[in-house]
C-alpha cells in the first residue's frame, strides 16, 4: 500500500545527526552509522540509509534511535513487514506508541492487512496531535476501502478532514470515494489541490494518474505517474500504469522500458496484462497471448485482460479459445457491446454463424449505428446465405461510413448475393481489381464456373502479382472435382510464396483426402516448427499420425501442443477423446485434470468428456454430477440431457432417465442422439414393443445414416434378431469401421451359430486393427465359449504384446494356464497383482494358483483379501470353501457353502455350492 514521505520526527532526527556529524574513522560507532544514515535520508537515498542503520543495529541492537529510523526507512522502501517489526521494537525500546502508530498503520496497509490496522487504531490516542489523529482516521478509511466498506470509509475521511482540512491521506481517500461515485472531475480537483499542498505525495499523484487514464487523458496520466514514480523509493504498479499510458500514446519502446524493472519483482496480473498489450501493439500475437495467459492465471476475473486475450486468440485463428473468454465476459456483462461482439466473432470463427447471430444482434440492438456490429451482422448473414438481411445491414453501414472501403466492399458482396447491380466505382486500379474479383466471385457462387474462369484469367493477366485469383481458381477446381488442377494451382502459390501457410494447410487437406500422410508431414512440419502454438497445424499432424496408425505419436503431438498452448481447447478435447476411444478413461481424466475446476465448469465440451470418462470407469454418480452441470450451463442443449439420461440409466434410475430423454426430445424432436438414446432406453427397460416402434420410426425419419444403422443394428442384436443385426451392423461398419460396431457384428454372426464366419471376421479385423483391445478380448472370449483354451490364451498374449500391463488379460492368462504352465501363470498373476493390488478377481486367481501348488495358507490369505474387497463374490466364496476343505476344516467349508446357497438362490453359485457340499458330505 502506498504511503507518504518520512515523518516529522524522522526529519528532526536526521537534522540533529547531521549537525553532530564529525570526521570519519576506520572503526565507526553506532552513532557514526546513524549520522551517515541521516545524510542518506536527507538525499532520499533510502537503500544506502538502510545499510548504515543495519550496521548500527548489528553493533547495538537496543539502539532506540537506529531502530526507529529503520522502521521509517523500511516504510519508504516498501517493506511493510520489516517496518512493522522495527516499529514494534521501537515501542518496546521506549518510543511513544502515539508517535509510532502512523508508521505502524502504514506498514499494515503495505501488507494488505486492513483487519489488523483497524484493530491497532480502534482507539485513537488522546495525546496525539490533530495531525496524527487525522492521519490515523484517514488510514482507517483506507483500510475500510480495502474491505469494500466505501460508506464507512467516507465517514472516516470526513472526520479526518474536520480535524485537519489539508491532511493528504484524507484528501486522497475522499477523492477515491468521489471517483467510485462517478464524480471524476470533482475527484481530480481535490487531488490537484492535494498535490499543490503536498507535491511529494506519490499516492496523490498515482490516483490522479489513474483518473486521467480512466478519462482518456493519456498525456496527463503519464505526467502524473512520472511524479508518483519520482516520489517513491521502490517499484510499484505506478510504472506499469505509466507504461499503459505510454502505450495508449503509441510509445511502445518507452512502455517496455518502464516494464523491464518490474520483471525483477513478482509478476502481477496487471503487469502481465500491460506487457501483453505492448506485444499486441507490436502485433506479436503469440507473445501477447502468453502474457495475457499469465495475467489470467493470476486473476481470472480481470475483464480487460479477458477481452484482449479473446481478441488475440481470434487473431491467431483460435476461435474455440476465444469463445471461452468471450462467453465469460458476456456472463458478467450480458448487455456489453464488446462482449456480444466478441462472442459473435468467436462463433463466426468456428463457422457457427447461427450461434453468432444472437449476440451480434444484441450488440446492434443496443446501438443501431454501431458500425462494427453492423459490419459483423452483415458478414455473418452473408456466410449463412441470408442475402436480404446482409444487404439491409450493409446498406446502413455504407450510409454511416460512406468513405470506408471495407463498407463498400461488404455492400458489393451483399448486392452480388442479392442479385443486384454493383455500384458504379472509380477507375483507379484498386477499385477495378476489387470489382472484377467480386464479379468473378459472383460467377463462382452462382456456379457459373466457365464465366468465373474467364474473369479470373483476365485478372491474372492484369494483376499477375495478386495471389487472390489463384486461390479462387483453385476453389473452382475443387468445386468441380478437379483435384489435380487445384493441387497444381496451390503448388504455384507455394512456389511463389513458400511461407504461405494457407497454401500449405489447404494442400495438406487435399493430401488428407488422398490419405497421403507422408505429404501432410512434409507440408506441415515446417509450420509446426515455426508455430508450436498453432492448433490447426498440430491437428493436421495428428491426423497424419493417426492415419499411419502412429497413435502414440499422435498423442505426443497433442501433448506437446498443450505444453506450449494449454488453452488449446480442441486439442485438449481431442486428446481426452482419444484416450476414451482407446479405453483409458483415467488418462482422459488426467488430461482434463490439468485444468482448473472453473475452466471445466465453464466449457461444455470438457464437462461432456469428463462425464463420459466417469461413465467409462463405472462412476455413474460422478458422471451424473458432470452432466447435471452441463445441463445447467447449456439448458437448451438436447445432447446434455441425453448424456445425463445415460448416467441415470447406469444408476438404474429409469424414471429420471426417461424424464431427461423426454426433455431432450422436447428441446429438439429431431435430435438424432436423443432418438437413439430413446431406443436404447426402451430396449434396456424391456419396453420391447415401444422399442421396436422407436427403431422403425428412427429408420423412417433418418434413413440409413451410419448412426441409425448402428443403433437399429444394436437393437436387433440385443433382441436376438441376429440376421437383421448382421445386415444392419454390416452396413454401419461400411460407413464407420469402429471397434464397438465390429464386436457387435461378430456377436450377430455368433448368435446365428456362424462360428467360423465370426472367427474369420474377427481375425481380418485384427489384421487391420492390431491395437484393438476390445476385439482381442472378444476373440479370446469366443474361444473360451467353445472351450478352446489354447486359442484363448494366444489371443490374450497378443493383446499383452501391445499392452503388457493390461490387467484383465494378465489375470485371464494366469487362470487359463495355471495347470498347463504353472510357473508362467504365477508370474502373470503376480504382475497383475502388482498393477491392481485390490482387484478381487486378480486376488482370487493368485490364490487358486497357490492352491494348485499346495500353498494352502497363502491361498487362504489371498482369498480373505479378495473377500474384503468384494464380500458378495460367489466365485471367491466357493474357492474359500475349497481351501477350507483342503485344510481339513470341513465344518468351516460347510458353513461357507450353506451361507452361499442361501445368498445365491437361483444362480449358478447355488448349484456349485450344493455339489461341493455333497462332495464334502461323501468324504465324512
Percent of the chain at pLDDT > 90 equals 46
At the top level of CATH, the class of 424-497 is mainly alpha
Rounded-to-integer distance, Cα 580 and Cα 891, Å: 49
Predicted local distance difference test score (pLDDT) of residue 482: 86
Q: Which tops the pLDDT comparison, 920 or 272?
A: 272
pLDDT bucket at 17, cuts 50 / 70 / 90:
very low
Cell numbers given for 596: 482448473
Cell numbers given for 751: 448368435
Rounded to the nearest integer, the mean pLDDT of the chain is 87
How many residues comprise the chain?
924
Cell numbers given for 641: 440431457
Kindly state the average pLDDT of the residues 241-253.
Answer: 92
Inter-residue contact 726 to 758 (CB < 8 Å): no
Q: Report pLDDT digits (tens) over 679-735.
A: 988 898 888 999 999 999 999 998 889 999 999 999 999 999 999 999 999 999 998
Cβ atoms within 10 Å, residue 820: 11
Residue 409 above 80 pLDDT? no
pLDDT bucket at 406, cuts 50 / 70 / 90:
confident
**Least confident range of 37-51, 420-434, 799-813, 851-865:** 420-434
User: What is the pTM for the complete model shown?
Assistant: 0.48
Q: Which tops the pLDDT comparison, 503 or 445?
A: 503
Predicted local distance difference test score (pLDDT) of residue 425: 52
Residue with cell 432418438: 675
Domain boundaries, the chain: 424-497, 498-567
Q: Where are the alpha helices (DSSP H) in 719-839?
A: 722-735, 739-751, 755-768, 773-785, 789-802, 807-816, 822-835
Kindly state the average pLDDT of the residues 200-219.
Answer: 92
Predicted local distance difference test score (pLDDT) of residue 572: 94
Rounded-to-integer distance, Cα 117 and Cα 138, Å: 12
Rounded-to-integer distance, Cα 300 and Cα 285, Å: 20
Kindly state the average pLDDT of the residues 770-783.
Answer: 90
Residue 782 above 90 pLDDT? yes
Looking at residue 123, what DSSP letter applies? S
Q: How far is CA 770 from CA 325, 546, 557, in A?
A: 42, 14, 22
Residue 578 above 70 pLDDT? yes
Looking at residue 559, what DSSP letter applies? H
Buried b (16+ CB within 10 A) or exposed e, 403-419: eeeebbbbbbbbbbbbe
Predicted local distance difference test score (pLDDT) of residue 757: 96
Q: Report pLDDT digits (tens) over 174-204.
A: 999 999 999 999 999 999 999 999 999 999 9
Q: Report pLDDT digits (tens) over 65-99.
A: 989 999 998 998 989 999 999 999 999 999 999 99
Residue 24 above 60 pLDDT? no
CATH fold of 498-567 reads 1.25.40
Q: Report pLDDT digits (tens) over 307-352.
A: 889 888 888 888 888 888 888 888 888 888 888 888 888 888 766 6
Residue 648 above 70 pLDDT? yes
Residue 627 above 90 pLDDT? yes
Predicted local distance difference test score (pLDDT) of residue 275: 92
Rounded-to-integer distance, Cα 850 and Cα 866, Å: 14
Predicted local distance difference test score (pLDDT) of residue 25: 42
| Radius of gyration of the chain measured on its C-alpha atoms | 38
Predicted local distance difference test score (pLDDT) of residue 722: 96
Predicted local distance difference test score (pLDDT) of residue 544: 92
Looking at residue 427, what DSSP letter applies? -
Residue 4 above 70 pLDDT? no
Predicted local distance difference test score (pLDDT) of residue 14: 40
Predicted local distance difference test score (pLDDT) of residue 431: 64
Residue with cell 537515498: 45
424-497 and 498-567 in the same fold: yes
Rounded-to-integer distance, Cα 217 and Cα 211, Å: 9
Type and span of the H or E element at 200: none
Q: How far is CA 782 from CA 140, 728, 775, 791, 905, in A?
A: 80, 22, 10, 10, 28
Predicted local distance difference test score (pLDDT) of residue 23: 40
Residue 35 above 60 pLDDT? yes
Amino acid at each position: 500500500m502506498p504511503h507518504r514521505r518520512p515523518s516529522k520526527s524522522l526529519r528532526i532526527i536526521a537534522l540533529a545527526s547531521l549537525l553532530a556529524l564529525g570526521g570519519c574513522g576506520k572503526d565507526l560507532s553506532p552513532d557514526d552509522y546513524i549520522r551517515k544514515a541521516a545524510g542518506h535520508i536527507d538525499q532520499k537515498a533510502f537503500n544506502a540509509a538502510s545499510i548504515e542503520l543495519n550496521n548500527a543495529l548489528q553493533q547495538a541492537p537496543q539502539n532506540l534511535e537506529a531502530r526507529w529510523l529503520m522502521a521509517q526507512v523500511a516504510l519508504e522502501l516498501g517493506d511493510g513487514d520489516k517496518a512493522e517489526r522495527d516499529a514494534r521494537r521501537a515501542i518496546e525500546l521506549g518510543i511513544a506508541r502515539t508517535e509510532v502508530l502512523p508508521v505502524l498503520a502504514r506498514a499494515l496497509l503495505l501488507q494488505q492487512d486492513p483487519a489488523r490496522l483497524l484493530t491497532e487504531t480502534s482507539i485513537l490516542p488522546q495525546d496525539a496531535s490533530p495531525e496524527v489523529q487525522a492521519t490515523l482516521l484517514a488510514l482507517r478509511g483506507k483500510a475500510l476501502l480495502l474491505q469494500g466498506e466505501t460508506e464507512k470509509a467516507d465517514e472516516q475521511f470526513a472526520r479526518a478532514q474536520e480535524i485537519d482540512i489539508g491532511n493528504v491521506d484524507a484528501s486522497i481517500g475522499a477523492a477515491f470515494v468521489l471517483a467510485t461515485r462517478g464524480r471524476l472531475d470533482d475527484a481530480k480537483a481535490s487531488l490537484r489541490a492535494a498535490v499543490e499542498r503536498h507535491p511529494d505525495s506519490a499516492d496523490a499523484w498515482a490516483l490522479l494518474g489513474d483518473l486521467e487514464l480512466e478519462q482518456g487523458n493519456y498525456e496527463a496520466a503519464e505526467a502524473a505517474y512520472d511524479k508518483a514514480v519520482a516520489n517513491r523509493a521502490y517499484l510499484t504498479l505506478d510504472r506499469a500504469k505509466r507504461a499503459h499510458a505510454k502505450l495508449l500514446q503509441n510509445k511502445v519502446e518507452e512502455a517496455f522500458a518502464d516494464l523491464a524493472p518490474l520483471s525483477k519483482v513478482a509478476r502481477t496480473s496487471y503487469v502481465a496484462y500491460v506487457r501483453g498489450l505492448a506485444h499486441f501493439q507490436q502485433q506479436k500475437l503469440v507473445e501477447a497471448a502468453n502474457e495475457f495467459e499469465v495475467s489470467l492465471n493470476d486473476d481470472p476475473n480481470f475483464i480487460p485482460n479477458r477481452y484482449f486475450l479473446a481478441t488475440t486468440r481470434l487473431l491467431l485463428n483460435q476461435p474455440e479459445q476465444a469463445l471461452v473468454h468471450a462467453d465469460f465476459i458476456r456472463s458478467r456483462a450480458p448487455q456489453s457491446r464488446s462482449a456480444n461482439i466478441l462472442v459473435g466473432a468467436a462463433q463466426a470463427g468456428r463457422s457457427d454463424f447461427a450461434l453468432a447471430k444472437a449476440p451480434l444482434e444484441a450488440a446492434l440492438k443496443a446501438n443501431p449505428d454501431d458500425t462494427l456490429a453492423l459490419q459483423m451482422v452483415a458478414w455473418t448473414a452473408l456466410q449463412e446465405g441470408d442475402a436480404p438481411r446482409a444487404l439491409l445491414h450493409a446498406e446502413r453501414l455504407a450510409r454511416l461510413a460512406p468513405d470506408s472501403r471495407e463498407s463498400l466492399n461488404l455492400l458489393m458482396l451483399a448486392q452480388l448475393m442479392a442479385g443486384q447491380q454493383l455500384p458504379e466505382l472509380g477507375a483507379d486500379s484498386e477499385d477495378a481489381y476489387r470489382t472484377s474479383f467480386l464479379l468473378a466471385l459472383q460467377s463462382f457462387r452462382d456456379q457459373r464456373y466457365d464465366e468465373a474462369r474467364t474473369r479470373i484469367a483476365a485478372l491474372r493477366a492484369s494483376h499477375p502479382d495478386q495471389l487472390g485469383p489463384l486461390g479462387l481458381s483453385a476453389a473452382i477446381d475443387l468445386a468441380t472435382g478437379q483435384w489435380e488442377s487445384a493441387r497444381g494451382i496451390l503448388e504455384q502459390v507455394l512456389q511463389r510464396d513458400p511461407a504461405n501457410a494457407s497454401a500449405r494447410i489447404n494442400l495438406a487437406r487435399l493430401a488428407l483426402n488422398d490419405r497421403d500422410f507422408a505429404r501432410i508431414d512434409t507440408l506441415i512440419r515446417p509450420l509446426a516448427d515455426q508455430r508450436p502454438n498453432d492448433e490447426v497445424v498440430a491437428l493436421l499432424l495428428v491426423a497424419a499420425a493417426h492415419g499411419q496408425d502412429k497413435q502414440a505419436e499422435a498423442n505426443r503431438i497433442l501433448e506437446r501442443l498443450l505444453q506450449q498452448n494449454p488453452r488449446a481447447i480442441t486439442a485438449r478435447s481431442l486428446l481426452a477423446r482419444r484416450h476414451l476411444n482407446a479405453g483409458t478413461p483415467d488418462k482422459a481424466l488426467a488430461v482434463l485434470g490439468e485444468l482448473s475446476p472453473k475452466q471445466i465448469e465453464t466449457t461444455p465440451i470438457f464437462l461432456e468428456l469428463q462425464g463420459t470418462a466417469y461413465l467409462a470407469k463405472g462412476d455413474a454418480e460422478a458422471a451424473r454430477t458432470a452432466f447435471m452441470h452441463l445441463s445447467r450451463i447449456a439448458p437448451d442443449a438436447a445432447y446434455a440431457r441425453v448424456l445425463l439420461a445415460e448416467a441415470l440409466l447406469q444408476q438404474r434410475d429409469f424414471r429420471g432417465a426417461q424424464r431427461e430423454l423426454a426433455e431432450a426430445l422436447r428441446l429438439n424432436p429431431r435430435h438424432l442422439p436423443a432418438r437413439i438414446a430413446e431406443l436404447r432406453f426402451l430396449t434396456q427397460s424391456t419396453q420391447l414393443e415401444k422399442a421396436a416402434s422407436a427403431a422403425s420410426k428412427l429408420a423412417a425419419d433418418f434413413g440409413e445414416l451410419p448412426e441409425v444403422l448402428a443403433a437399429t443394428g444394436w437393437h436387433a442384436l440385443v433382441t436376438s434378431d441376429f440376421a437383421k443385426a448382421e445386415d444392419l451392423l454390416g452396413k454401419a461398419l461400411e460407413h464407420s469401421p469402429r471397434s464397438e460396431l465390429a464386436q457387435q457384428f461378430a456377436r450377430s454372426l455368433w448368435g446365428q451359430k456362424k462360428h467360423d464366419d465370426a472367427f474369420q471376421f474377427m481375425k481380418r479385423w485384427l489384421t487391420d486393427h492390431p491395437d484393438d483391445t476390445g476385439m482381442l478380448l472378444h476373440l479370446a472370449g469366443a474361444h473360451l465359449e467353445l472351450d478352446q483354451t489354447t486359442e484363448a490364451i494366444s489371443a490374450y498374449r497378443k493383446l499383452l504384446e501391445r499392452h503388457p500391463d493390461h490387467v484383465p488379460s494378465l489375470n485371464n492368462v494366469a487362470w487359463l494356464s495355471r495347470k498347463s504352465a504353472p510357473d508362467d501363470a504365477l508370474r502373470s498373476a503376480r504382475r497383475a497383482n502388482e498393477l491392481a493390488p485390490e482387484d478381487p478377481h486378480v486376488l482370487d486367481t493368485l490364490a487358486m494358483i497357490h492352491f494348485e501348488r499346495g500353498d494352502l495358507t497363502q491361498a487362504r490369505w489371498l482369498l480373505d483379501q479378495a473377500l474384503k474387497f468384494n464380500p458378495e463374490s460367489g466365485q471367491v466364496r466357493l474357492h474359500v470353501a475349497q481351501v477350507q476343505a483342503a485344510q481339513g476344516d470341513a465344518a468351516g467349508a460347510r458353513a461357507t457353502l450353506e451361507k452361499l446357497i442361501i445368498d445365491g438362490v437361483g444362480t449358478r453359485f447355488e448349484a456349485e455350492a450344493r455339489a461341493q457340499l455333497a462332495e464334502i458330505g461323501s468324504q465324512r
